[in-house]
Structure 1
Amino acid sequence: MSDRSLGPGPGSPAVTSLVRLRHDTAKPLYQQLEEQLRALIEDGTVAGGTTLPAERPFAEALGVSRTTVQRCYDSLRRQHYLTAHGRHGFIVAAGRTRLSPGMDRLKGFTEEMQELGRVPSTRIVERRVVQDRSIASLFGLPSTAPFLKLVRIRCGDGMPLSREVAWYDLTAVPALAEGDLGGSVYAFLGAHGAALVRCRQTIEAATPDAEECAVFGFTQPLPCLLIKRQSYARDDRMIEYVEGLFRGDAYAYRLDLKA
């Protein structure tokens, strides 16, 4: 079987020409193959819908055992990168290209997904008015100040990408308590005279807990990005504090820096 039959499609490089397995390292061959195939899928080199070959011919083309390819495929299937296609091999799942949003300006999840060509959707898990001493201190407000606590699962093309826990100052935007927040909260704020104009944001590495693994469909904890953001209106009043856990296998934030 030639390399051409193992390729991702006309005009695309053959998968076997992109894989480089090393025999002079302690890392198992199946793990090397898994990491390289996952990277090729995430950066779009191997596109969603591509049919990968069956285990035996792929193993022969790579010069490895069938067990090596089998273990690699099984792992990628459990992580939802591949779907079984019978004796014809495996198909690369759609929507697994790693998202690379820019961080050049303040924008909400809905706008970000639209810019990336994804269809945004939201599932509200929790919505209630609360008083929280520690959150109030972040806003510089009295401990009795009311906040809207909003827990949402944010999806792109139907895939859960983040679990967000957000608090909003109801003394600044009382309409949030009963408003329709199924779409963009940022658009809602703008329509009620509290458009957000700047934010302070940090990004940390984080490990998802059992509940978050269930949201993302992880069979085991995988690295995630924890993004904490404090957002302000034009009068420099803090309106929002949000902690969003983003799946690390789908996100790679991009920064454009100038000298």
Structure 2
Amino acid sequence: MLEIDKQSPLPIYYQIEAYLKQQIDDGLLKPGDTLPSEREFSEQFHVSRMTIRQAIMNLVNAGYLSRQKGRGTFVASQKIAMTLSGLTSFSEEIKHRGMRPLSRLLSYEVIPATDRIAQQLSIPNQTPVYEMKRLRLADDHPLALETAYIPVHLLPDLTQDDATGSIYAYAEQHGLRLKNATQTLEARSAGPEEAKLLTISPNAPVLLIDQRTYLEDGGMFEYSRSLFRGDSYSFTVAMDRI
């Protein structure tokens, strides 16, 4: 049991935060476990609820805990470790980790490429492209929001049903050979609608990844923007000294 040291230079909320983090790291609190309420913690540690709230929110923002409105605070699931090397699809990555991938199609339409999309795909303005917005899940747990753009002439028969599965696998089954991709990563906060779809708190940390996927002949296959939950992912980059 934690004994609060009120004479310590460390803030009380930090002492509580470190204690709970150690409980999680040691496996005494396991993924899915429900934490006591702020009131119960306040009575247990003899501190204000505001102090408890600060410790809890820091752990939520760090990915150790998750809050669900009306249900409480839970120990978050272990983060999915992604390696940013090798071109794999979301479905392939999730299956590799023993989970069931699912794509919930939020919107699907053919649009004329705007200046920005045309530039990203290296195609003329107004070229017809698929715009597909998908919520990506693993074992029914929302992990990412993705908006993808693909020139229609590359996959002229792509249907909404096809878009709920792995588009990479569909493309390769239809004779396209994918070669590589470039990614740009940026940290930001989730907006209200994004947070609702990802079941996270508004302004929770997310990672924005812009990806450009290339065909073996050097042409562009896809441009996508994906928002990954900060509490569910960690990314590892392999680098060689040059």
**Quick check: 1:23 aligned with 2:11?**
no
Q: Give the fraction of aligned pairs with identical amino acids, expressed as a percent.
A: 29
For 1:166 and 1:221, the matched residues in 2 are separated by: 23
* 1:69-148 superposed matches below 5 A: 71=53, 79-80=67-68, 92-93=74-75, 96-133=77-114, 134-148=116-130
| Two-structure CA RMSD over aligned residues (Å) | 3.7
Aligned partner of 2:195: which letter? Answer: C
Q: Deviations over 1:159-189 (max 9, x none)?
A: 1111101000112221225662211111001
Partner residue, 1:65: 46
Q: Is the alpha carbon distance of 1:56 and 1:230 closer, same or farther for their aligned partners in structure 2, counting shifts above 3 Å?
A: closer
Aligned partner of 1:79: which letter? Answer: R
Among 224, 236, 243, the alignment partner of 2:218 is: 236
Among 119, 144, 149, the alignment partner of 2:131 is: 149
For 1:22 and 1:170, the matched residues in 2 are separated by: 66
For 1:220 and 1:249, the matched residues in 2 are separated by: 13
For 1:148 and 1:129, the matched residues in 2 are separated by: 5
**3-state secondary structure, aligned to 1:175:** coil
Aligned partner of 2:67: which letter? Answer: Q
Work out whether residues 16 and 55 of structure 2, in 8 Å CA contact, stay in contact via their aligned partners in 1. Answer: no
Among 189, 192, 202, the alignment partner of 2:171 is: 189
**1:255 Cα deviation after fit:** 1.9
Partner residue, 1:225: 207
Aligned partner of 1:164: which letter? Answer: E
Q: Is the alpha carbon distance of 1:100 and 1:175 closer, same or farther for their aligned partners in structure 2, counting shifts above 3 Å?
A: same
Partner residue, 1:12: none
Aligned partner of 1:105: which letter? Answer: G
Aligned partner of 1:170: which letter? Answer: V
Higher relative contact order (CA 8 A, sep 6+): 2
Q: Deviations over 1:32-59 (max 9, x none)?
A: 5347646865897843244667889977
**Quick check: 1:33 aligned with 2:16?**
yes
**3-state secondary structure, aligned to 2:186:** strand
**1:108 Cα deviation after fit:** 0.8
170-179 or 139-148: bigger deviation: 170-179
Q: Is the alpha carbon distance of 1:55 and 1:127 closer, same or farther for their aligned partners in structure 2, counting shifts above 3 Å?
A: closer
Among 226, 229, 233, the alignment partner of 1:247 is: 229
**1:196 Cα deviation after fit:** 1.7
**1:218 Cα deviation after fit:** 2.7
Gaps of 5+ in 1: 4-15, 85-89
For 1:21 and 1:112, the matched residues in 2 are separated by: 47
- More strand per residue: 2
Partner residue, 1:173: 155
172-181 or 249-258: bigger deviation: 172-181
Aligned partner of 1:47: which letter? Answer: K
Partner residue, 2:146: 164
Aligned partner of 2:16: which letter? Answer: L
Q: Is the alpha carbon distance of 1:225 and 1:74 closer, same or farther for their aligned partners in structure 2, counting shifts above 3 Å?
A: closer
**TM-score when scaled to structure 2?**
0.78
Work out whether residues 17 and 56 of structure 2, in 8 Å CA contact, stay in contact via their aligned partners in 1. Answer: no
For 2:99 and 2:162, the matched residues in 1 are separated by: 22
